[in-house]
Structure 1
Amino acid sequence: MKTKLTTVALLAVTILSCNNGKKSNSENPEKATDATNTIENVSIENIKWVITTLEGDAINNPESNGEEIYFILDSETNRVNGYSGCNTFMGTYTIEKGNRISFSQLASTRKMCPDSKINESQILSIFDTADNFTISGNKLALNKAKRAPLAEFKKAESTNEPIVEKYWKIKTLDGKEVTLAENQEREIFFTLKTQDNKVTGFAGCNTVSGEYTLEKGNRIRFKNMATTLKACPDVAVNEAEFLKIFELADNYTVNNDVLSLNVGKRAPLAVFEAVYFK
């Protein structure tokens, strides 16, 4: 009888131990789920990623030809675009569970940069080869399987520049007041977009597009500026004078809602005022 009681007691202890073990593993299932989701929900999209290492070699100066080598993933369109050292590139991407990522064949502009110190083919091959990513804080690595990272990137610091994402309407050009011609389609203006560092605007007859770079000390540079080829013979505006601003300007000053684009320490090339739309 004593043996039977001992056996029953041992069985009871075993069952209780198992139940307690199960309870401890699932004691707070919501907490475990949250921890998993925290890892999976870390997004790398809609962020400017600037390169820091390439195939294990540090890139101490990530700028080539005056602009950082970077890429951005647009979550709305699933498009990737960036700058590879001389040319801009674009394509599409797919992100799957387990930090899996794949890129389509990328297309790029065909600008020649013989003085560039960056091998663009190496940059572009990252996206051709990568199949997964890892992220830690503000650092992102694009990888192939479990090998060493193909390249590492850092999250670009958000800009608090007071001149971006504003509609800048021209006030004066070379010291002379600019007025809207009667048959002019709209006022002359430009906007600096944070996305891809793009410039958009209107020169009096044609639309304007291009790229810009902001640097310390209120330095600014414009490049790849282009316009549409519309003819407006009856509009009394000299677009060439306006476009010359972007060719010459190398710094700016801003005071509240008034912006001056300058070259050196001379008088402003042009003055603009911010316009806010309701």
Structure 2
Amino acid sequence: MIKNVLPFLMIAVMIVSCKSNKEASTANKDNSMTSLDWNGIYVGTIPCADCEGIKTVITLNNDLTFTKKTQYLGKSTDVHTENGAFTWNKAGNTVTLKSDVTYNYFVGEHILARLDSSGKKITGDLADKYILKQQSVDALKDTPWKLVELRGKAVENSQKQPFLILSSDDNRVSGNSSCNGFGGEYKLLEGNRIAFSKIMHTMMACQNMTIENEFMQVLEVADNYTLVNGVLNLNKGRMATMAKFEVDYFVN
């Protein structure tokens, strides 16, 4: 009797063992590195001891390289850029950025949370300030769009960087035209149609007003847009693109 039962017991043990190993293997694979779309751009403002904050933009690439850009707000307009490689920890939930200074970041769903010097999550009232949020490459609203081309010509040597931001709160558009700041309203309609109205701007005089004048003319007549891979185009009908924009989190 025992001889007859023994083979079945051995088979049962093998099945349970295989199931346990499979569950353990699945659990080990279920981490930030394997289950999240972690590659992309993360933006936030880190607390600063002697400035208004450190605007930080980190790009994580699939080939395990990164670009980190920082700007000390209220202290300098310079943007410091670092490039390097990063590694994952064994748990697959934390990345280490290796450059002049090494920093560790916990990788969550659409966030990077900077860790303290001992590799632990920062706590306290300022904890949320150490979290960078992942940006959508094709997020039209609340994104700083830098003007890089007007009517097929590259935008260069302007007094200030021309840009616009389409606010999601009140359908307001704001930005700089290369000389003056401006603001107004916009509407989004079906079929990627867009309309700008009630555009007002400051009245400062600059040496070269060509870019400003052309930029404002584009806003008056543009009636549709395209947004692909982080490039925004403003168009009139089916004519050639009148203005091309790229994302720049440091324009102001």
Task: Give TM-score, length-normalised by structure 1.
Answer: 0.39
Task: Give TM-score, length-normalised by structure 2.
Answer: 0.43
